Chain A
């Protein structure tokens, strides 16, 4: 099993969730986070914003679905310009994948 943590734009969350639903991935946890990346926030005129609001999705999946899920999140979360809709912009987010050794359902005590 793998744990996918996707940090994405808040406005693209709904699009990502719908794309995952189409690939029959329903179980996930969402949380609001703030952060910054390589670009160290953004500068609007004289004001510098060092932390941007983002949305983090946490999804635990069996190994064989992980590659597909990453591709789905990637294509749904990528923004672009009007002429090139999937060219990508800074701030689209990151996807991290880590190992999960065991998982339990509390209701049934299943492993």
Chain B
């Protein structure tokens, strides 16, 4: 048995639940957590106050008449500014599955939650030694099925 811990965006929980249901994973535990990653909870947004002169594509824009003179606001592009948000809200999903289902579940989780932007989350696969169904007292793989 393996325990899969996935830390994902809060707005991707519903699609993730749908996908897990479609591949036959029924038991999941979801909890609200806050966290941060390698970037320490920073996001990059355009800063309207500081701008930098556009370097690339100026000649073509002048040719086409998009930029008229040097004071044209299109001549300047905003600088990306980093904002430190600290800990960001995330959702943590815990799933316990049999060993042979691990690649299937991990690939499904990656496919649903991937947007290519920072903050998509992490997936950890940990060993799990035993499981007990409390209602019947079944142990091991029987408790999962």
Contacts and interface: CB of A to CB of B under 8 A. Distances in A.
Query: What 8 A-B pairs come out closest when comparing CB atoms?
Result: A29-B35, A106-B120, A107-B120, A102-B125, A104-B123, A31-B33, A27-B37, A26-B40
B125 A31 contact: no
Given A28-B36, A29-B35, A31-B33, A106 B126 contact: no
Nearest to B106: A104
B33 A29 contact: yes
B116 interface: yes
- Tell me whether chain A's interface is mostly helix, strand or loop, or mixed: strand
Nearest to B115: A107
Interface string B103-138: 000100110011111111111111100000000000
A27 B36 contact: yes
B35 A104 contact: no
B97 interface: no
Nearest to B114: A106
B120 A103 contact: no
Contacts of B34: 29-31
